[in-house]
Amino acid sequence: MRIFGREPVVVLNSLSAVLGLVVSLGFTGLTAEQAGAIVGFVTAVFGVVAAVMTRPIAPQAFTTVAAAGAVLVATFGYEVSQSTIGAVNGVVLAALTLLTRPQVSPSKPGIPATTEPPQAV
């Protein structure tokens, strides 16, 4: 399955990073806490969808937890601005997507997902 000619995981992580950019530019009129909560939630939801669409699940699940966690820690652990929240989200997503992408592949619809390669007969 392709979205705009790209793998769904790349599109989902890019959309999450764009959302972080929109929030960081202040177009939303949200407080930093509201913006961070929304960015963290959307990052987590997109990450779960991306993890379901890839095999093995672990690298994408790690990316999701790290990215959403970094945004939420920046938001609720420290007094930071919306621009910092967006920057944290973008950098973490970009770095982890680049690092984990070679380790995952799209799952094929209709074929049960396994973490082990098929056995030769």
Tens of pLDDT, residues 71-117:
788 778 777 777 777 777 778 778 877 887 777 776 665 554 555 55
C-alpha–C-alpha distance, residues 88 and 116, integer Å: 34
| Residue 40 pLDDT exceeds 80 | yes
- Pick from 5-14, 49-58, 85-94, 104-113: least confident: 104-113
What pLDDT is stored for residue 58 in this prediction?
77
C-alpha–C-alpha distance, residues 30 and 85, integer Å: 12
Backbone angles phi, psi at 6, to 5 degrees: -120, 165
C-alpha–C-alpha distance, residues 8 and 20, integer Å: 18
Across the range 24-35, mean pLDDT stands at: 76
What pLDDT is stored for residue 110 in this prediction?
55
pTM: 0.62
C-alpha–C-alpha distance, residues 95 and 3, integer Å: 21
What pLDDT is stored for residue 116 in this prediction?
53
